[in-house]
């Protein structure tokens, strides 16, 4: 890089960091770095971008962090191609970010598109495409822009869908996907969406507004509009979610105990051997234990549908169970032992 280019980059980087002089922006950034500094020896970060205010603000904070810590950040935006404007919007976001030396790669979602449950499949494919890119680049930490409003919305979506304790306790500051050993970090989880909109407008002057976010044919949009109309005590609601998380952690302890004491994992064969005592636990502990095993063996990000796993438990505890396939795994019974291997 020649001296002229280096000087230009230094000016841009100096301009970026000057935004942290704003007290409101610096307060959000301080919370942002607390969530990341938990993890030591981070040399490179992946950043998932969509173009909305949360992800654009995330891009800014990640860039600041990379400059201050002298680490590499790689930014990815998935163009789902579900709307005719998506290509134009994706390129617009990339150009706006480039003004601050934030270089974002567009990943195209190719192939057949869903006609129902669109948001669900779009989210799954977005994660899948970005995680594959992270794996190629040996990135094991991915930042996503989930914020406090997402946490609340997610709670109600799962409540109305009849989710159990694990679903209702929603996502937290981080989660790990077995498929690629990549940890997903949510450093903005304690921030309000309105604060992230402030950051985006202050720095980038604008952001993309996805019309599907207000279309009431989508569950999330209906929940969002419902929450706007109702005057919930957010402090009490967050306390409820916090208490649910504590209960969820208690159950996870016994899930881990069940796996450690009643399972034998054969690493080279990628196979689990379950003793009869594995199925002496409560349904919830058996259910979660099996989900862990399925994702570990199949290397998929998500286990099979809950109803299918519950049906499997009933079949295994029955008299005539011998063999079945589920979630990319082969489950077979030999005497009183259950063996689960890759299909």
Between CA 244 and CA 242 the distance in angstroms is 5
Half-sphere exposure of 136 (CA within 13 A, CB side): 8
Between CA 21 and CA 11 the distance in angstroms is 16
- Single pTM value for the model: 0.81
Q: What is the pLDDT along the chain (343 residues), one digit of tens a residue?
A: 555 566 788 889 898 999 999 999 999 999 999 988 887 677 889 999 988 889 999 999 999 999 999 999 999 999 887 778 888 888 999 999 999 999 999 999 887 777 777 777 888 888 889 999 999 999 989 999 999 988 888 888 888 888 888 888 867 888 876 456 788 999 999 999 999 999 999 998 877 666 566 666 677 778 888 877 777 788 888 889 889 989 999 999 999 999 999 999 999 999 999 999 999 999 999 999 999 999 999 888 778 888 899 999 999 998 889 999 999 999 999 988 999 999 8
Return the domain boundaries, the chain.
7-232, 262-342
Between CA 152 and CA 150 the distance in angstroms is 5
Between CA 120 and CA 293 the distance in angstroms is 24
CATH superfamily of 7-232: HUPs (3.40.50.620)
In degrees rounded to 5, what are phi and psi of residue 77?
-130, 125
List, as one string, the DSSP characters of 178-247: TTTTEEEE-TTTTS-HHHHHHHHHHHHS-----GGGG-TTSHHHHHHHHHHHS---HHHHHHHHHHHHHH
Between CA 94 and CA 76 the distance in angstroms is 10
Number of neighbours of residue 7 by Cβ within 10 angstroms:
11
Query: Token pair of 243, please?
Result: 């208490």
């Amino acid at each position: 890089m020649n001296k002229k280019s280096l000087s230009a980059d230094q000016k841009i980087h100096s301009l970026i960091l000057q935004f942290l002089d704003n007290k409101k922006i610096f307060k959000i950034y301080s919370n942002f770095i607390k969530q990341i500094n938990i993890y030591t020896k981070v040399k490179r970060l992946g950043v998932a971008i969509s173009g909305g205010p949360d992800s654009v603000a995330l891009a800014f904070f990640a860039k600041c962090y990379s400059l201050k810590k002298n680490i590499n950040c790689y930014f990815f935006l998935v163009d789902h191609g579900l709307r005719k404007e998506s290509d134009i919007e994706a390129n617009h976001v990339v150009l706006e970010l480039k003004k601050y030396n934030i270089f974002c790669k567009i990943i195209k979602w190719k192939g057949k598109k869903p006609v129902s449950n669109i948001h669900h499949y779009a989210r799954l494919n977005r994660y899948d495409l970005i995680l594959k890119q992270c794996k190629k680049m040996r990135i094991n930490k991915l930042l996503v822009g989930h914020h406090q409003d997402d946490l609340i919305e997610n709670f109600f979506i799962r409540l109305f869908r009849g989710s159990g304790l694990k679903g209702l306790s929603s996502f937290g500051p981080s989660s790990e996907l077995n498929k690629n050993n990549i940890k997903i970090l949510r450093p903005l989880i304690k921030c309000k969406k309105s604060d992230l909109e402030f950051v985006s407008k202050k720095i980038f002057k604008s952001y993309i507004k996805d019309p599907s976010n207000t279309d009431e044919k989508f569950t999330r949009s209906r929940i969002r509009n419902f929450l706007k109309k109702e005057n919930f005590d957010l402090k009490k609601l967050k306390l409820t979610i916090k208490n649910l998380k504590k209960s969820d952690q208690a159950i996870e302890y016994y899930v881990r105990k069940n796996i450690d004491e009643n399972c034998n994992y054969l690493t080279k064969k990628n196979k689990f051997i379950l003793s009869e005592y594995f199925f002496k636990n409560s349904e919830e502990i058996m259910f979660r234990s099996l989900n862990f095993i399925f994702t570990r063996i199949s290397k998929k990000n998500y286990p099979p549908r809950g109803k299918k796993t519950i049906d499997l438990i009933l079949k295994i505890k029955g008299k005539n169970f011998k063999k079945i396939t589920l979630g990319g795994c082969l489950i077979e019974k030999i005497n009183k032992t259950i063996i689960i291997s890759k299909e």
